[in-house]
Amino acid sequence: MQALTSLRRGNHTKALKLIRDSLSRHNNSNDDSTILHYIDATIHFETAALIDMSTAKRKHLKKAAESTQQAVAFSLSSLTFALLHVRVLFELEANGDKGCIEVGQECKRALLIENPVDPIQDSLEDGENQ
């Protein structure tokens, strides 16, 4: 995916634009949309990690939280999505925006997943088979 390539190359602005464009072309009910939300969250989370200004950092963390929440809602059995969601919530809590209770609740929910799936790995395997 071009957005992840741009992120790896350090061009966060281009990565965010590309992922926004991709999200606008997909509806919110398919597997591609779920993965796009995960990628969007990853880009915002990694962008926030580079920022010292609290207002801009919180903005990216909040966007990441919204996207991880969407990804988790679409794939409740994904440990990958749950882990990123917990990391984002933890960072928000560290920046004064979320409570420890919400972080703990998401950790407990993830620990109760009986048959975990990894939509990222599944999508890579599907791409190799095609």
CA 36 – CA 23 distance, rounded (Å): 6
Tell me: the pLDDT tens digits for 75-107?
Answer: 999 999 999 999 999 988 876 666 678 888 889
The total domain count for the chain is: 1
Please tell me the predicted confidence (pLDDT) of residue 122.
61
CATH number where 96 lies = 1.25.40
Q: What value, to the nearest 5°, has the Cα angle with vertex 79 and ends 48 and 46? A: 10
Q: No. of H helices and E strands in the chain? A: 7, 0
pLDDT < 50 regions, the chain:
127-130
Please tell me the predicted confidence (pLDDT) of residue 119.
82
pTM of the entire predicted model: 0.82
Please tell me the predicted confidence (pLDDT) of residue 129.
45
Domain extent for 57: 2-129
Q: Are 92 and 98 contacting, i.e. CB atoms less than 8 angstroms apart?
A: yes
